[in-house]
Structure 1
Amino acid sequence: MLRNVAVIALPEVAVFELGVLCELFGYDRTADGLPGYDFAVCSLGGKPVPTHAGFDIDVRFDLSRVEDADLVAVAPYYHTGFEVDPAVIGALRRAHERGAWVMSVCTGAFALGEAGLLDGRRCTTHWRHTADLARRYPAALVDPDVLYVQDDKILTSAGTAASVDAGLHLVRQEHGSAVATMLARRMVVPPHRDGGQAQFIETPLQPVQCETLQPVLALVLETLDRPHSVETMAELAHMAPRTFARRFRNETGATPHDWLTGQRLLLARRLLEDSDLGIDTIAERCGFGSAATLRHHFAQRLSTTPQAYRGTFRSHPV
């Protein structure tokens, strides 16, 4: 049972996410029938920690507090150019070896990567840093789309609000759904959010930059409502379909079908955000043909629905 929680605060710690961990595990709610935790924020030598917001926090505990914790969590920190102290790496490894939960929030995943705890495991971080995480730790199985992921007793989450999702998931694992729902109600947050962080990634339509196919792709972008295919695009390029498909992949890094679907989804997202058009009309304008097909691709690539996406991201009320 989860009773003892230690949070490691590294230099340039992110204040909001550190606060989320404190809210999840450091607030005494036993009077409401919720579990209580022996909670501590720790730092190297128990020294004050500078935050990314320009002030320091006074920390009472050093890393010795980590040795008995059932959960060791690493709050986000400014990871670029920062070398994780060997003492932190050792503490994380020992926690994992003795069967404790090890959790990271956002860029805290880089500390887990330094400790080798992500090797061969699915993991995530904020979508802005997933490529860097994968580059630094090639043995890690980085998933850029999820809000959080649990692999064995290693739990990693994306940025900001996803730390709430991950924390509630852990509470659900340890104490059951009823406790997690009660805690979510106290925090005034959903007990579970559908979807993943792919829907939050900023991906505006961009001008096509290709060596030879740019005119064709630019024309396709202007006519996404039409029934384009490999054959029709190849005809525009005056190439055989197989030759076109090979050239397309060489120049764009994607297959014609994947690229076309992606561009249609980008247009659909823009129309959902900025217009009052119905889902059927948007599906037609983007070349999906039907709302059912649009919903299928939203679920497959963004792990959400067009209606839910509009409710989250529309720029003006209906």
Structure 2
Amino acid sequence: MKPTEDPDDPQQYIAHVRRSLLETKLDLSNKQHIQTDIHQNVQEIRAILKTNAEIFHRCMSSAIISRDDKRRSAGLGRRGTTTYARIEIDEVHSQYHGNDKTVFVVYPTQSEKSFPTGVLSNIPSELEGILKPTTYREEPHSSYIDHEAYFHNCLVLHDDILAPFLVHLKEYLISVQICLGKIDEWIMEPNETLHFLETTFGNVPRLHVKKLGEQHRSKNTTMFLCHCPVGRHKDEDMCLKCKHTFRKHNIRMSPEFDGDVTCSYMCPHRQDYFHCNEVAAVVLKECSSCGRHETKFSLLNEIERSKLKKFLDYITS
């Protein structure tokens, strides 16, 4: 069978290419009751983009590594995934600091979780070959599609192509919103605990996640330092960098303030830094008290929270 030849006439050729795109890439025959009105879809897409941008910037501030090539070179995660971090506080400790002083202290930890984020970097097959996606210029987001710019660029398309294109684009942006929503929900979970601490103790210092590259240099060696109480890291705990237990590390300690130590862990596989999930201890309140009061309260249930409030009232009365 002889293949169909492209029309020689320019106007007919343009119509032929558009018809081909509609039949192959942008076929809507299997999508019933879809709104193809350009103006309405533009309005809906702009609303989706606004929401997505707000969630995206919230999520990216908690991203440990945003680009897959960097993540693979660091040996972290899987292709098409991004690791995010959040600060968690599970307990409040009351500690005796001498001179009839009791302090309320928390030891925040940084937890991490990987999420599939391939949808942020890849457009669906229906949109491929029509308009090349625009990615963010600035690091560390340069592997992610700039959906706002992509939307602006598509508006130059002829209405015959634009109408079905917007239908698929809207569906794609909804899937992006679902992806970002799952990440945002996980990141925001500890906020309720932080709100409880703020209402109980007043202002709580703002805590930030540690990102790969926030390093401390000492004697030509790059490493992460953590300021943790003696015994905070147990031998069976896992190093977040090399995935081995601490007992396999070479450990050097030097005295610090109030009995703390600076723990420098050197991974045995010649990795020159250690990623500690501990954040520096935060003092919430210091009170004058008679006697030695040392205990801890879980923030994960209401009974323990109620005990904490009563104990705080007793100490400060």
TM bucket normalised to smaller: under 0.3
Structure showing greater radius of gyration is 2
For normalisation by structure 2, the TM-score amounts to 0.23
- Higher helix fraction (1 or 2): 1
Determine which structure has greater relative contact order: mean sequence separation of CA pairs < 8 Å that are 6+ residues apart, divided by chain length. Answer: 2
For normalisation by structure 1, the TM-score amounts to 0.23
